Structure formats: C-alpha cells, structure tokens
Amino acid sequence: MGQILKIRELERDDELGSVKKQISAQNGDFSFETPVVSQRRPKTTEGLNPLKINEVSRPITKKSINELETRGITPFAYEIKREQFTDRLNLTLFNLTFDRVPDERTTRLLANALYSSSKDVMVLPTVRAALLQEIIPTRKTPVYSIRKIDDYLKMMRTIIDTNKFRNGKELVGTIPLIPPKFVRPIIDFYIEQEIQAFAIDANFKDIILNEGDFRLILTEINNEKPLNETVIFAFNVGNPQYEQHAIRSDDFLSIFAYVDVLGLTSKPRFGGGSSRAKVFSREDYAYDVYPTYSAASQAIGKNLTYYTLKEHNRLEQLKETYKVRGIIGDEKVKKYLQTKEGVDTVSMKKLESIAHNIRVS
C-alpha cells in the first residue's frame, strides 16, 4: 500500500483550526484545495462541474456478502465504478451493518471487494456502534469494550494485510468518535501502519458539542503525524437535536476544526424520518427549517425533493468553502465567522478550544 496523496500546506489561520492545503495524486489523477466538502454523483447536472470529491457508499449486509459469494466481486465493483469519475478523488465507503466482526474468510472477501471498488484511495469501513459494544447485565445500555475493540482491530488488520502487497492505493484509517480509552488503540494501530489520512466517523454525533472527544482524536494524531501533513476526513457528522426555525450548521463548522474534507452521511438513520426540509444558509451558517418540501421550494424558488435538497445544500456548502479558502491567510477567519448569525459564542469558544489546544508544527 503506497502513499498516493501529496499534501502541501498553503496557508493557515492563527486563531481557529483552519488550514488551507493542496491535496493531489502522485499520478496526476486529481488536485484540489481544502477545506472542501464532498458530494455524490448528482442526479442532475447542476452540481457536476464544481464537484471535487465524489463519494460512492454501500451498506454491507448479509445480502451483500451472499451476492459477493455467489455473483462474484467483479460485478459488484463494476456497479460502484460506474458511479466514479476519472478526474476527481473518488471515495468508496463501505458501511458494515453487522453487530459482530465477521469471520476471517468473510473479512478477506470484503477486503478484496473494497480494493477492487476503490480507485486511488481505499477507505477502511465504517461500523455500527454495536460492533464496538457489548451488553453487561448490570447496565441498562451497551458499553464500549476493549475486547470488542481488539476484535475490530483484528478485522482492520486482516483488511490491510490482505491488500498489503498491492500497489497504487492510499489507505485511509477510519476512526470512530468514541471515548478516549477505546479510540487510542485504534489511532495507535493506524500510526503503526504509517497511515497519513484519517476518516473520523462521527456516527451522527455533533462534533462541536462533543469537542472534547473530537479534540483528543486530533491531538493523538497530531502527536505522531502533524495535522498539516495529514488529511482529515469527517463523515456522518450530526447537528444539534433541537429544531425550531433554524438549526446551527455544526456539521459545516467542522471545517474550522482541522477537518479538511467534510463528507456525507453514509449510514442510515433509524427511528423514522422527518417531513421537514432543512435548507443550508451561507449567510447565517444555519439550516432554515421548513414544515414541508413544498414550503422550502417556494422559499428558494425551485422545486425540491429529499434528494435534490441534499444536492442543493452540498453545492451551497461547496461554494462557501471556496469563500473560506480565500480568507485563510489573508483575513481573520474568526472575524468572518462572527458575521454569521448562526455561530453563537458557545460554538465559537468550542472551535477556539480545539485550535488552541492543538499545536501544529
């Protein structure tokens, strides 16, 4: 497994965790500047031209395993490659839906499928929280377990070892946003593997509200590999749970907390969906909440569905990252954020806490 990504710091802000980097492929396949958000191949052509990073996600279920066994890896990988581009960074994301680590033979099958389905980088799979937890009779809720973490790391090692002697792909280590005792062995393992790109799986947690645990992950990485020499992806990032007329866009605010690439949600939400439509506002850094998609359509002047609204929001966020990149190194990012009505004093202090407690070389 080689290092395909070339990482170069261009500018940084001295008050917040905002670093502008140029990320490119050794083979010239792609080049982009951070911070940036990723997208999925649009269902319309509206968001295609500015797209820099393309996500292709797949839930891995028992049915998926059976199809890999009976139909083969080639048709499975072919369907994924049809959604990829030749001149962008393509991220193939496997979301394992199991509550237990699969056996070694199944893990090797997944490793081969992931390699065949990935282009320049190979992102290690995300997992359910239940795979890292166990039930203790004396506790009402499942708890994280070192034994389950050891099983998880054994699975990741098998995936890496299965592909170790193949060339041409960068490995991205996936780190779940979990308590320090359980996340440290995962980070140490990736550092041992000489990984330089990390994907933080927030699992729907708001990383601004959980800034202590998020900051610890960044600190542990930075102690071994300076953040200005790494790429930090963040996936499945949540927002505040309360819903009124607007919700602060904490997911987007993560780009001011050393996140280079803000990824999409690759996991299903359980518990039912909402009929309300949430429209990202570049002016306020908030999601304006409308009771229906029809009301949202009238407000912004175009027809919206669940899918087209997601594309609209990501395109607006992509445009805003262009604005932010232009500020880093030339203006005070904090001053710019203070013009956003959705960014309150509490969230600003949390962003400053992340920046001030991590010394980047």
Rounded Cα–Cα distance for residues 352 and 216 (Å):
14
CA distances from 71 to 63, 65, 75, 177, 295 (A): 11, 10, 7, 35, 45
Residue tagged 């997208």 (tokens)? 39
Rounded Cα–Cα distance for residues 257 and 278 (Å):
23
Q: What is the pLDDT of residue 274?
A: 62
Q: Report the percent of the chain where pLDDT is more than 90.
A: 78
Domains annotated for the chain, with CATH where assigned, are 5-356 (3.20.20.105)
Contact between 283 and 323 under an 8 Å Cβ cutoff? The reply is no
Contact between 161 and 137 under an 8 Å Cβ cutoff? The reply is no
Average pLDDT across the chain, whole number: 92
- For residue 203, the SS3 value is coil
Express each pLDDT in 119-176 by its tens digit.
Answer: 999 999 999 999 999 988 888 889 999 999 999 999 999 999 999 877 779 999 999 9
Which distant-in-sequence residues (6+ apart) come within 8 Å of 20 by Cβ?
9, 10, 11, 12, 33, 34, 35, 325, 328, 329
The burial of 145, by beta-carbon neighbours within 10 Å (0-12 exposed, 13-18 middle, 19 or more buried), is given as middle
Express each pLDDT in 22-80 by its tens digit.
Answer: 999 998 889 999 999 998 876 555 545 567 899 999 999 999 999 999 999 999 999 99
Residues in the chain: 361
Rounded to 5°, angle at Cα 153 from 148 and 156:
130
Mean pLDDT along residues 209-236: 96
Rounded Cα–Cα distance for residues 193 and 315 (Å):
35
CA distances from 59 to 62, 229, 314, 355 (A): 10, 31, 21, 34
pTM of the model: 0.94
Residue with the larger pLDDT of the pair 144 and 87: 144
Q: What is the pLDDT of residue 292?
A: 92
Token code pair at residue 54:
């393309």
Residue with the larger pLDDT of the pair 4 and 336: 336
Contact between 86 and 257 under an 8 Å Cβ cutoff? The reply is no
Q: Report the percent of the chain where pLDDT is more than 70.
A: 95
Res 281 pLDDT > 50: yes
| Cα radius of gyration rounded to whole Å, the chain | 20
Strand partners of residue 5: 25
The burial of 181, by beta-carbon neighbours within 10 Å (0-12 exposed, 13-18 middle, 19 or more buried), is given as exposed
Rounded Cα–Cα distance for residues 233 and 37 (Å):
9
